[in-house]
């Protein structure tokens, strides 16, 4: 039933971060500006993720390890109004406890239907196209509880809201900032924690240093997200409420003991491309059902690398 959480992560179109900001340098630091290449470009993002979920209840512990490798193609095209960023999944490989799994309905839909985000010259979203088609195709491919949960929770409006919020939290928030190595700062963003409802959180940024990434001089940026744990607990309860999976009359309590996300981004100031990005996330929470504690710990480690597409190979 917790597969629902994966829907949120996949909906956010990993390619959107590739042109988060194009910094121009001066003696006072680097100013982050949205400025993709005028001629456009096609990129390939390869994401490698390992999620470890450990559940303990009644003295028994169960651990599941999921390894996912996703490849996505993103095409950036200059338009009269700004740019279009069109993404489509090329392949998805998944294994749970070393056993290969077939792509689920959403994975399959993402490989069949492209999603396009149109932005103006300043990087502000004008329109998002394709999410409704992805949703329709995913529902066609799903069945049972998976389909019921997805249809109920992931409306077209909610999918678009999540995409816009992801863009604002990871891209727009940097536009116009001038920073130099060693600087630290905080920003207020809206973020999803457990449910698809967006929560106000504070993210701590650090400009670590300039870094040579595969021959590209990049700004190494780190941001850490740690929401208020009491608020996170309320959001955990909201997730279960939205899913409607708890029997009526059951005494249920929810608490979050830990929640932390750390993102590190390597941004090339010459090409305005993020050539590598890593994420480490830890969640620990307790669901108490009629006095019985179920403690779950989720750990996620992922790496996204980017390269220029070879049209003959990456199709």
- Res. 9: pLDDT tops 60: no
CB atoms within 10 A of CB 282: 15
The whole-angstrom separation of Cα 233 and Cα 256 is: 5
Nearest alpha carbon to residue 36 among 135, 117, 92: 117
| Stated length of the chain | 315
The pTM score is 0.84
Residues 6 or more apart from 259 whose CB is under 8 A from it? 193, 226, 227, 229, 232, 282, 283, 284, 285
Order of strands, edge to edge, in the sheet holding 22-26?
22-26, 29-33, 178-179
pLDDT tens, position by position, 18-60: 444 445 555 568 877 777 888 889 999 999 999 999 999 999 9
Percentage of residues in the chain having pLDDT higher than 90: 52
Strand partners, 46: 71, 305
**First CA to last CA across the chain, in angstroms?**
34
Q: In whole numbers, what is the pLDDT of the chain averaged over residues?
A: 85
Let me know if domain 4-308 sits in CATH 2.30.230. yes
User: What is residue 271's predicted lDDT score, i.e. its pLDDT?
Assistant: 67
pLDDT tens, position by position, 92-110: 999 999 999 988 888 888 8
- Res. 5: pLDDT tops 60: no
Strand partners, 52: 65, 299
The whole-angstrom separation of Cα 210 and Cα 199 is: 32
pLDDT tens, position by position, 235-293: 999 888 887 777 777 889 999 999 999 999 998 777 667 899 999 999 999 999 989 99
């Amino acid at each position: 039933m917790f597969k629902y959480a994966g829907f949120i992560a996949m909906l956010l179109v990993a390619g959107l971060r590739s042109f988060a900001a194009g910094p121009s340098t001066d003696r006072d630091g680097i100013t982050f500006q949205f400025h993709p290449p005028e001629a456009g470009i096609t990129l390939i993002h390869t994401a490698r993720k390992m999620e470890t979920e450990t559940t303990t209840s009644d003295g028994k512990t169960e651990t599941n390890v999921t390894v996912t490798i996703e490849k996505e193609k993103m095409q950036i095209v200059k338009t009269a109004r700004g740019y279009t960023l069109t993404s489509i999944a090329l392949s998805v490989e998944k294994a749970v406890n070393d056993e290969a799994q077939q792509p689920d309905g959403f994975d399959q839909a993402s490989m069949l239907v492209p999603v396009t985000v149109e932005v103006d010259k300043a990087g502000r979203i004008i329109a998002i196209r394709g999410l409704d088609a992805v949703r329709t195709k995913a529902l066609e491919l799903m069945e049972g509880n998976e389909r019921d949960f997805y249809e109920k929770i992931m409306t077209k409006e909610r999918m678009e809201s999540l995409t816009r919020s992801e863009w604002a939290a990871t891209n727009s928030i940097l536009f116009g900032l001038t920073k130099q190595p060693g600087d630290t700062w905080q920003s207020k963003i809206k973020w999803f924690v457990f449910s698809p409802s967006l929560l106000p959180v504070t993210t701590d940024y650090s400009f670590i240093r300039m870094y040579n990434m595969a021959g590209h001089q990049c700004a190494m940026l780190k941001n850490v997200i740690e929401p208020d744990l009491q608020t996170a607990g309320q959001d955990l309860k909201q997730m279960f409420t939205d899913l409607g999976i708890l029997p009526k009359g059951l005494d249920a309590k929810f608490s979050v003991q830990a929640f932390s996300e750390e993102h590190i981004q390597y941004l090339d100031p010459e090409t305005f491309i993020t050539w590598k990005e890593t994420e480490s996330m830890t969640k620990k929470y307790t669901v108490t059902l009629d006095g019985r504690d179920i403690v779950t710990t989720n750990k996620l480690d992922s790496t996204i690398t980017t390269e220029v597409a070879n049209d003959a190979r990456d199709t």
